[in-house]
A and B are shown apart, each in its own frame.
Chain A
């Protein structure tokens, strides 16, 4: 079964030689079109958002963003074949529903096998569950050191210590950092578990506060308090939130 439309592919690897090998192995397949090559995670997120390729060859250890972080940031990730020298991520790769996992150095036969599998999956139109899985695959006990936010095709990296507070807004959360707000599709509860509980406190159903920004807590009615931040911002504090703060301070 041959479709008239070519399968579009994007190659992501920080090493030029590694990309050139994928390019070479793909060159004999006439039904494949390489639409972009990226040397880091930022470029990858931008390119995938703009050109929406069918398939992505993805390195894992790269500058700025890892291969897994790239998948997490994409709304509609393409089919993924990981290409890496490290074998310890293989299980995690299949957790995010990768088509295959190529270990460097790999031969042509092994490469073609992976490609064949990807083409088969694409022809069957199996819905890609990679996105939710990427978030789930994150080990729960590991705390985030930075938050990744995608704005258009750009990726923003915010180190957690630069976050003032996080506000829940419907399906989104808004990160307040350096006098700017950044929206991300995520649940506040999920954030709460990923952040260091000694630095970030859920002070209200809709707010997580970086306690380093707290200036004082004011009581303005019975059982209702307001957190005043160092920049003057006022946030509501619930009763359980107040208990948590008291415990920490």
Chain B
């Protein structure tokens, strides 16, 4: 009997695996199930007959008090509901497992996306910016305590804002610019007369939304190549415009001819470009230009004044 039961259960399970509920029409399953019921019951009856017949012939043992024909009829009939029940249970179990699996996959995908985002955000603020700023504060404490205090609070504002903005999906350009102003204020204390900032902001662009901390790494790059690599420093220019429902942001810095040329896009710029391409498909991108002692990065994305 155990053998029969096993056969029924196993065949039901295989059937369920071969024709999963999600990818097979209900009629096809019903048809297959009907055919399978007949086959399995027949096999089951045949096996029963074989067993009973051999028992009677060889050992003269009667397994059932009823005649063989009657017993086989009972076996044949009871086999059907048993198989159908088994099939139904198999489908139920597989459906349950599938939901659990898909739930797990969705959770994993979300975790992966979050990790990537976090990694990207972490990459966006150079830790050396913090170390150098702290060193400036340390120097200012004895020479200009007031400025040391200002720098401390600006640094705190910058990090607080970058954390809260970084958790959002998009922020307004106005918010991103306020973050940049904190950053540039700190760098102005560090670099003194070497850093000039020139801004041409179209007021209409301020309400537009962009991914948070998108411009920060670009300005950081501009400072690194345009200011800290140059004896006399230079100017960082920021320009925003709206054209044909697109938002254009240009960041420009002067470059020192004596310094080795930049080899392609740096890590920071690659991240910005990837973010734009993933979020806006073909509607957002980053372009670079280098000519006449200036280096220019232009990014564009769809103009969206609301989230």
Chain A residues within 8 Å of B, Cβ to Cβ: 14-18, 20-21, 24, 39-40, 42, 61, 63-64, 85-86, 103-106, 145-146, 157, 159
Q: How far is the CA of A40 from the CA of B227 in the complex (A)?
A: 13
Whether B134 lies near A63 (C-beta < 8 A) is no
Residues on B with beta carbons closer than 8 Å to the beta carbon of A105: 131, 134-135, 137-138
Contact A17 B139 (CB under 8 A): yes
Q: Roughly how many angstroms separate A146 CA and B259 CA in the complex, as a whole number?
A: 9
- CB atoms of A63 and B231 under 8 A apart: yes
B185 → A minimal CB distance (Å): 15
Which of A18, A42, A106 is packed against the most chain B CB atoms within 10 Å?
A18
Asked whether, in the complex, the Cβ of A24 is within 8 Å of the Cβ of B230, the reply is no
Tell me whether B228 and A14 are in contact (CB under 8 A): yes
In the complex, A40→B258 CA distance in Å? 13
In whole angstroms, how far apart are the Cα atoms of A10 and B179 in the complex? 37
Q: What residues of A have a CB within 8 angstroms of the CB of B256 in the complex?
A: 63-64
CA distance A16 to B132 in the complex (A): 12
Whether A64 contacts B134 in the complex (CB less than 8 A), given A17-B190, A24-B142, comes out as no
Beta-carbon contact of A40 and B231 below 8 Å? yes
* Other-chain contact of A20, B134, B139, B229, B261 (Cβ < 8 Å): B139
B286 shortest CB reach to chain A, Å: 25
Known contacts A21-B135, A63-B230, A64-B258; 20 additional CB pairs below 8 A are A15-B136, A17-B139, A17-B189, A18-B135, A18-B136, A20-B143, A24-B142, A40-B231, A42-B231, A63-B229, A63-B256, A64-B231, A85-B128, A85-B135, A103-B131, A104-B131, A104-B132, A104-B134, A145-B260, A145-B261
Interface assignment of B140: CB less than 8 Å from any CB of chain A: yes
- Determine the main DSSP class of B at the interface with A: helix
What residues of B have a CB within 8 angstroms of the CB of A14 in the complex? Answer: 228, 231
Q: How far is the CA of A61 from the CA of B140 in the complex (A)?
A: 21
Chain A contact residues: over half helix, strand or loop, or mixed? Answer: loop
Give every chain A residue within 8 A of B139 (Cβ-Cβ): 17-18, 20-21, 24
Q: What are 28 residue pairs bridging A and B, where the CB atoms are less than 8 Å apart in the complex?
A: A15-B136, A17-B135, A17-B136, A17-B139, A17-B140, A17-B189, A17-B190, A18-B132, A18-B135, A18-B136, A20-B143, A24-B143, A40-B231, A42-B231, A61-B228, A63-B229, A63-B256, A63-B259, A64-B229, A64-B259, A85-B135, A103-B131, A104-B134, A105-B131, A105-B137, A106-B135, A145-B260, A159-B258
Report B171-206 CB contacts with A as 1/0, cut-off 8 Å: 000000000000000000111100000000000000
Q: How far is the CB of B165 from chain A (nearest CB, A)?
A: 25
Q: Chain B's nearest CB lies how many Å from the CB of A41?
A: 9
- CA–CA, A103 and B256, complex, Å: 27
**Which residues in B have some Cβ–Cβ distance to A below 8 Å?**
128, 131-132, 134-140, 142-143, 189-192, 228-231, 256, 258-261
**A146/B132 contact (C-beta < 8 A), A14-B228, A16-B192, A63-B230 known:** no
Chain B residue nearest to A23 in the complex (CB): B139
Nearest-neighbour CB distance to chain A for B263, whole angstroms, equals: 10
The complex places the Cα of A146 from the Cα of B257 at a distance, in Å, of 11
Cβ-closest chain B residue relative to A18: B135
CA distance A162 to B50 in the complex (A): 97
Inter-chain CA distance A89–B189, complex, in Å, is 26
Q: How far is the CA of A201 from the CA of B143 in the complex (A)?
A: 56
B189: chain A residues within 8 A (beta carbon): 17
Contact of A146 among B128, B229, B260 (CB under 8 A): B260
Could you say which of A24, A61, A104 has the most chain B C-beta atoms within 10 Å of its C-beta? A104
Query: B191 contacts which chain A residues (CB < 8 A)?
Result: 15
- In the complex, what distance in Å separates the CA atom of A40 from the CA atom of B143? 23
| A15 CB contacts on chain B under 8 angstroms | 132, 136, 190-191
Look across to chain A and name the residue whose beta carbon is closest to the beta carbon of B147: A17
**Measured between alpha carbons, how far is A63 from B134 in the docked complex, in Å?**
21
CB neighbours of A18 from chain B (8 A): 132, 135-136, 139
A40 CA / B194 CA spacing, docked (Å) = 13
How many Å lie between the Cα of A86 and that of B135 in the bound state? 12
> Closest Cβ of chain A: how far from B218's Cβ, in Å?
20
